Chain A
Amino acid sequence: MRFSGLRVLKEGLTGNKGWGPHWRDPAPKPAYDIVIIGGGGHGLATAFYLAKEHGLRNVAVLEKGYLGGGNVGRNTTIVRANYYLPGNSEFYSHSLKLWEGLEQELNYNVMHSQRGVLNLFHSDGQRDAFVRRGNAMINQGDDAELLDREGVRKHLPYLDFDQARFPIYGGLLHWRGGTARHDAVAWGYARGASERGVDLIQNCEVTGIDIENGHVTGVQTSRGAIRARKVAIVTAGRSGQVAAMAGIRLPIESHILQAFVTEGLKPVIDNVVSFGMGHFYISQSDKGGLVFGGDLDFYPSYAQRGNLPTQEHVMEAAMTLMPMIGKARVLRSWGGIMDMTPDGSPIIDRSDIGGLYLDCGWCYGGFKAVPGSGFALAHLLATDRPHDSAAKLRLNRFRDGVGLMDEEGTGAQHNLH
């Protein structure tokens, strides 16, 4: 089933009776070449690129709940490539290029909107750092534009430019950044993978990982044993529990990150705006809701809800930056489980167990990485060589102290990112 303007028109005139399910709902087979644990954005994208780029179709994605029901179904949907450090820089640059062709590639409207991401700065020192970052982005082949105070005012006249603590000096504008419809990304990849023969198996919880002589042989699940030559753990905040089934301890702590949505308003915020000094960022969804968030609660949690001090902090930052939003009413908030690494950067790598692969440590930035992560993990699974864009996302960089990607410069230590 392909989407097109003509098809939408025809279905609209005939009662929308011609739409079918977007993916098959198969029972698990006894064995696959590759099993992917986790049916979120990254797992589904991996399956899609395995089938499309490498012709590997004897693949299963095992999902404990329903497809796209985790962080890809609840996030603040920001897509950007404004990283500074080698390793992250080329990875997110590649991911953004995949985003730019994603709707055509998937024949699926993921509502990718390159509305620009604007990071504000509030001091001379911070300006210098942003000039440096912008130059790094341009050297990577991406876009960056330095705005002075009046340049920011042209785009965002509603900010409080003269607040005493953090007066606005300017901003770094990344036009190719923006937002996307998070669920549609998961659904589009799921449909594309299923069409190409990948089995997407829902309500199938992995309960054990079978290892013989240091090599993975399959998984135990709530729907029976499944043999596999290769297994990839793509379970984000739950990576610690799944890796423990293989006897692996990861350099990851799972922390809570909260986000908030207001009632729908008329269009008022055109771009994605981030206010790093106040730990606050915001965009407006196409439905009109203001979607915003802040920093971690800064303690490990699987509760999927945060505490009030962080909520208060985020609301205070919002009012500090843009007092106009004070009258908007918050409709809902939620907390997601973030797989935080010591340096705040991700891992796509082999494990020490043969045939067992890891894709984790996405911290609070996994959504924009979905295409790049799926592409790179599929490449690693298919060829046993890391993809060029992800060659530095190594598991052992913490142990060896080489190639750490600490964007915030706070030190590669837990609880600092």
Chain B
Amino acid sequence: MRLTCPNCGARDLREFTYQGAALNRPEGDWGESWDAYVHLRDNPAGPSQEYWYHGLGCAAFLRVERDTRTHDILLVALASGGAA
């Protein structure tokens, strides 16, 4: 599995760290929406929206669409701007 960083180009998996499902951070105090954000997952078998961190490269946080059945990388973009 290789990811194509928008800044650095195609790089080895070892340069990146998976940072979790790309979810929208809720507003307000602890409640069901926070429980869902922190704990509950769609856990899809198929295209998955994720954050990755290019720690051994440009240190950018990336938003990645990846097929969890095949490890195909479908889309990589800078995560800046938050979850779209």
Which chain A residues have a beta carbon within 8 Å of chain B's beta carbons? 238-241, 244, 249-254, 298-303, 307, 309, 342, 398-399, 413-415
**Given the complex of chains A and B, what is the CA–CA distance between A398 and B12 in angstroms?**
34
Flag if A251 contacts B39 (CB, 8 Å): yes
Interface residues of B in 28-51 (CB under 8 A from A): 32, 35-36, 38-45, 48, 50
**Given the complex of chains A and B, what is the CA–CA distance between A306 and B75 in angstroms?**
20
Interface of B is mostly: mixed
**Given the complex of chains A and B, what is the CA–CA distance between A133 and B40 in angstroms?**
30
Given known contacts A253-B21, A309-B14, A414-B20, A300 and B39 CB-to-CB distance under 8 angstroms: no
B7 within 8 A of A: no
Nearest CB in chain B to that of A239: its residue: B43
Q: From A244, A252, A298, A302, give the contact of B18 (CB < 8 A).
A: A298
Flag if A309 contacts B43 (CB, 8 Å): no
Flag if A301 contacts B68 (CB, 8 Å): yes
**B1-22, CB under 8 A of A: which get 1 and which 0?**
1000000000011100111110
Q: From A239, A307, A398, give the contact of B39 (CB < 8 A).
A: A398
7 extra interface residue pairs, beta carbon distance < 8 Å, beyond A300-B21, A302-B45: A254-B43, A298-B17, A299-B50, A307-B71, A309-B12, A399-B39, A414-B20
Given known contacts A250-B40, A399-B39, A415 and B70 CB-to-CB distance under 8 angstroms: no
Q: From A253, A342, A398, A415, give the contact of B43 (CB < 8 A).
A: A253
Q: Please, how many residues of chain B have a CB less than 8 angstroms from a CB on the other chain?
A: 27
**Given the complex of chains A and B, what is the CA–CA distance between A415 and B36 in angstroms?**
16
* Cβ contacts under 8 Å, B40 to chain A: 249-251
A-B contact count (CB 8 A): 70
Chain A to chain B contacts (Cβ below 8 Å), 9 pairs: A241-B43, A250-B41, A300-B21, A300-B48, A303-B68, A303-B71, A414-B21, A414-B39, A415-B20
**Given the complex of chains A and B, what is the CA–CA distance between A342 and B36 in angstroms?**
12
* Cβ contacts under 8 Å, B14 to chain A: 309
Given known contacts A298-B17, A398-B35, A399-B35, A252 and B43 CB-to-CB distance under 8 angstroms: yes
Nearest CB in chain A to that of B72: its residue: A303
**Given the complex of chains A and B, what is the CA–CA distance between A388 and B40 in angstroms?**
26
**Given the complex of chains A and B, what is the CA–CA distance between A80 and B51 in angstroms?**
35
* Cβ contacts under 8 Å, B20 to chain A: 414-415
Flag if A342 contacts B71 (CB, 8 Å): no
Most chain-B CB neighbours within 10 Å: which of A239, A244, A301? A301
Shortest Cβ distance from residue A412 to the other chain B in the assembled complex, whole angstroms: 8
Q: From A302, A303, A309, A414, give the contact of B41 (CB < 8 A).
A: A414
Shortest Cβ distance from residue B25 to the other chain A in the assembled complex, whole angstroms: 14
**Given the complex of chains A and B, what is the CA–CA distance between A239 and B42 in angstroms?**
10
Shortest Cβ distance from residue A308 to the other chain B in the assembled complex, whole angstroms: 8
* Cβ contacts under 8 Å, B35 to chain A: 398-399
Given known contacts A240-B41, A240-B42, A307-B1, A249 and B36 CB-to-CB distance under 8 angstroms: yes
**Given the complex of chains A and B, what is the CA–CA distance between A250 and B36 in angstroms?**
9
Shortest Cβ distance from residue B40 to the other chain A in the assembled complex, whole angstroms: 4
* Cβ contacts under 8 Å, B19 to chain A: 415
**Given the complex of chains A and B, what is the CA–CA distance between A238 and B46 in angstroms?**
12
